[in-house]
Structure formats: C-alpha cells, structure tokens
C-alpha cells in the first residue's frame, strides 16, 4: 500500500518541520488549515490545532497525552500527511461531510523531554541502526518484566515456606523499595532484608540457595533495570535553550530531578508534564483513588518495571494533581482539551485518543447505551486484523476493550460525556517509548493499518 511512512523521532524542531511540510505541501489534495492553538502549557508551549475537511461531522484525533508514548504523535502527523495528499483510500475522503481535527501533541513538555533525550543518542543513526537500537530496548524491556516477575515469585515462595504468605504483598512492595538502588544482590542481602521481619537466618539458610537457583539459574540476582540503564548517561543538557519556553522547561525539570529521587534515564521516558502531573491520571476519579492510597501509604512507588520510581511526589511518571494536599485541579493541557471538545457541541461525531502500546481500542465504560460505541469499534479493529493477516499472514488480534473495573483515566472521563470517544493503543509491540520502532515491518503496518481503518468507518 502506497502510504508515506516516516521513521524518525520527532523532537521540537523535527515536529515543527513535519507540520510545516504538511501545511505547505503543494501536492495536497485536501486543504490543511492551521488554527489558533487550543491552549498553552505552563511553560507556554502551544497546543497546536489543525483540520482537514469542512463537513458537519467532526472527528478529533489527539495524541501525546503521555509524553513518552511517542508513536501516537508520529501516527497523527503521518495520518495528516497522507490524508492531505489523498493517498490510497484517502482518495475517497468526503471533505464536505467530515471535518477532521488534529491535535497532534497534547503534552508538549513531556514529549519534548522524551524526544530530546532520545534524539541526543539516535540522531546519527541510519534506519538499520535505529531499528537495532529500538529492538535492543524492546528486549530489555521484556527481560525487565521477567526479572521482576521471577523476583516476586521467589519472594512469595519464601513467604510460603515460612508461613507468612498473608504478608507477601507488603513484603514485595518493601523489597523493591529497600533495594531500589542496588544493581545486584545475593543470598545474604535477602537474609538481611528478612531480618526486618524477624526471620532467622538459619531458617532461610535451609532453602534459599536452592530457591535462588530455581528462579535465576545463578546465585546472583541482577536487580538493575536494563531498559533504564540504556539511557543512564543522559543529562539535562539534552534540552536546548532555543527560547524562553525551553528555558522554563529546563528549570522545571531541574527542580523535579534536584534531589536525585529519580534515575536520570527517565528523561527518555517522561510521561508527565513539567508540573510532574500525569495528564491521563489528572481527573477527579483517579485523584480520589490516589488520595485514599496516600492516607494509608506514606510513599508510593510505581508498580512493575518502573517500581524504583516514586510517584507520590511530582515525578517523571506523574501524579494525578500538581499537589496532592490541594484540591483537584485540571492541568492547563486537559482544560484546553475539554474546552475544545465542548466547543464542537452537536457537531461532535467521534474521537481517537492515541496512546502508545497494546494494540487495542478502549470502548468502556459505556455509560449510555445510545452512545453505540461497539459497532464502529469492531469495524475498526476487524479492518486492522484483516490488513495484518493479508500482509504478514499473522493473526494479531487487535481487540476492543469493552469492560473494565475502574474508571481511572482522562479517556474514561471523555467517554462519560461523548459517544465513540475511543482510546487507541497503537502498537502491538510493547515498550514505550521506542519498542514500537524495533521492527520496521511492524511499525509500518501499525501506521498503515490504522490509517486504512479510519476510512473503513467513515
């Protein structure tokens, strides 16, 4: 299929360049309009707004809510480029029926932080080197997940043998906190840790060697996170001082990192905005959940592969509010987004909130049966699966997610009010920010399948 697909990380300059090229492309079949920004961030970066078409059915594509999910911004701009040119299926786009709005970057601060860090390393790479680098990251990301699972299983096994299985969850949390700055540990470290629970050395000596070997095939356990270590030599110097916005961004980042609470490598995987707020978590539902947790636990660390990163203070992963002791407030980025949705009134038709990895479309919770979220969602993912099957002869099962337990994200907040407010997890490959770039074939298919599927539902 003859779509244009780029293969690069978009830092500030590169994104500006890509957007200007799209806007001024003499070959465009459909006119691209640049509007006033829908708002500005706390560092005064504009949240840009473009549109194609002039019909009464309004569709919104937005991306980059999580600064580290770089493939979303890449996809929305690639879609803009190909739609404007009327490539392939876009030839039959009905510009008098639809208006498609593009908000390619909701969280400029998190995205520029991540992409400046990334491009400081990858700028000299050719495509093959870039693919290898990203694939290496993709694998280390997977390995880190396995390591954590094995360690947790080992701890549970220990708890079972000494009859304190009821406390295993607490013990696991404390373990990762206790050892967060350790690269490698051995049996003696574990024995010392269990002294905190008044467990005798002699009891553990009976079986610990054997257990460690069982889970790690070695007497040493490597705890450091490979997917973070890849970026351990990055510094805040990667943020160039282009203008006042950049200066402000750098100052605010310096403030977040000043006490060495976080590995500096997180600059390359920066979810939050410069206030240290996670824009997806920045909603009243999650604020309440998090506040309840904070009354029980003094410090909260992220789970899983980022379990060495504190999230109860402003952090690269981000909190639900700029200050958890203060009442809930939307960040400027979210206010701008909510106001923009409101401004469309009855002309709103559907929206895609483009995130990074998972390969699925969130349609839950369905508050209102009349919203009719499912049929279009099914049509969308079925087309994606058909394309993957045709090209790769692989069943990738891009799914819809109709059910969930908790309402926790900004995507859910939008879905409460608007029909067909889909959250699209783009890549089937894991590993934000750069895992999805670790296989060029898969990357291209992600782009092409999602572009084609749009035309399948219009």
Work out whether 332 is an interface residue with Zn ion (CB under 5 A). Answer: no
- Residue 247, helix vs strand vs coil: helix
Stretch that binds Zn ion, among 27-35, 59-67, 258-266, 441-449 (CB under 5 A): 59-67
The reply to whether omega before 15 is within 30° of 0 (cis) is no
> Which residue, among 437, 440, 433, has the nearest Cα to 111 in the 3D structure?
433
Work out whether 252 is an interface residue with Zn ion (CB under 5 A). Answer: no
Stretch that binds Zn ion, among 90-98, 138-146, 352-360, 361-369 (CB under 5 A): 352-360
Stretch that binds Zn ion, among 146-154, 282-290, 349-357, 440-448 (CB under 5 A): 349-357
Binding residues for Zn ion restricted to 69-108, rule: CB under 5 A: 69
Q: How far apart are the first and last CA of the chain?
A: 19
Work out whether 66 is an interface residue with Zn ion (CB under 5 A). Answer: yes
DSSP 258: T
The sheet carrying 32-34 orders its strands as: 32-34, 50-52, 98-103, 57-63, 348-357, 421-427, 360-362, 399-401
Work out whether 412 is an interface residue with Zn ion (CB under 5 A). Answer: no
Work out whether 415 is an interface residue with Zn ion (CB under 5 A). Answer: no
Tokens of 73: 């911004």
Stretch that binds Zn ion, among 63-71, 174-182, 227-235, 449-457 (CB under 5 A): 63-71
Contact 65, 104 (CB under 8 A): no
DSSP string over 138-168: HHHHHHHHHHHHHHHHHHHHHHHHTT-GGGH
Using CB positions, name the residue nearest to Zn ion.
355
Nearer to Zn ion, 131 or 331 (CB): 331
Stretch that binds Zn ion, among 51-59, 60-68, 170-178, 313-321 (CB under 5 A): 60-68
Q: What minimum distance in Å lies between the beta carbon of 353 and Zn ion? A: 9
Q: What minimum distance in Å lies between the beta carbon of 364 and Zn ion? A: 16
DSSP helix, strand, coil percent of the chain (3-state; round to 5) = 50, 10, 40
Q: What minimum distance in Å lies between the beta carbon of 445 and Zn ion? A: 20
Nearer to Zn ion, 61 or 349 (CB): 61
Per CB under 5 A, the list member of 58, 225, 332, 355 interacting with Zn ion is: 355
**Interface residues with Zn ion (CB under 5 A)?**
66, 69, 355
């Amino acid at each position: 299929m003859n779509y244009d697909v780029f293969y690069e990380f978009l830092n500030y300059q590169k994104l500006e360049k890509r957007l200007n090229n799209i806007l001024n492309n003499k070959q465009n079949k459909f006119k691209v309009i640049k509007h006033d920004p829908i708002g500005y961030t706390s560092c005064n970066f504009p949240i840009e707004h473009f549109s194609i078409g002039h019909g009464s059915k309004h569709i919104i594509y937005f991306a980059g809510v999580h600064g580290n999910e770089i493939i979303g911004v890449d996809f929305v701009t690639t879609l803009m480029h190909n739609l404007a040119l009327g490539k392939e299926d876009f030839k039959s786009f009905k510009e008098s029926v639809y208006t498609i709005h593009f908000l390619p970057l909701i969280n400029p601060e998190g995205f520029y932080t991540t992409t400046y860090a990334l491009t400081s390393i990858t700028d000299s790479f050719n495509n093959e080197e870039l693919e290898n680098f990203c694939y290496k990251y993709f694998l280390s990301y997977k390995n880190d997940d396995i390591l954590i699972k094995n360690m947790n299983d080992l701890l549970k096994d220990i708890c079972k043998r000494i009859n304190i299985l009821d406390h295993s969850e607490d013990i696991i949390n404390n373990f990762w906190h206790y050892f967060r700055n350790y690269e490698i540990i051995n049996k003696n470290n574990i024995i010392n840790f269990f002294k905190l629970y008044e467990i005798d050395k002699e009891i553990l000596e009976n079986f610990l060697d054997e257990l460690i070997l069982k889970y790690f095939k070695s007497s040493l356990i490597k705890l450091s996170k490979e997917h973070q270590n890849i970026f351990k030599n990055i510094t805040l110097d990667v943020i160039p001082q282009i203008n006042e916005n950049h200066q402000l961004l750098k100052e605010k980042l310096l403030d977040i990192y000043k006490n060495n609470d976080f590995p500096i490598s997180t600059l390359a995987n920066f979810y939050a905005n410069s206030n240290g707020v996670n824009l997806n978590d920045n909603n009243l539902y999650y604020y309440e959940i998090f506040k309840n947790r904070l009354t029980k636990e003094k410090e909260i660390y992220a789970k899983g592969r980022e379990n060495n990163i504190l999230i109860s203070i402003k952090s690269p992963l981000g909190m639900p509010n700029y200050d958890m002791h203060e009442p809930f407030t939307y960040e400027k980025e979210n206010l701008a987004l909510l106001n923009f949705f409101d401004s469309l009134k009855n002309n709103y038709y559907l929206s895609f909130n483009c995130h990074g990895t998972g390969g699925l479309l969130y349609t839950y919770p369905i508050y209102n049966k009349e919203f009719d979220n499912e049929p279009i969602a099914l049509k969308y993912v079925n087309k994606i699966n058909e394309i993957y099957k045709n090209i790769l002869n692989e069943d990738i099962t891009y799914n819809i997610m109709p059910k969930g337990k908790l309402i926790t994200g900004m995507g859910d907040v939008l879905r409460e009010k608007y029909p067909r407010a889909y959250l699209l997890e783009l890549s089937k490959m894991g590993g934000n920010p750069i895992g999805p770039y670790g296989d060029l074939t898969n990357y291209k298919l992600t782009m092409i399948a999602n572009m084609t599927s749009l035309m399948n539902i219009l």
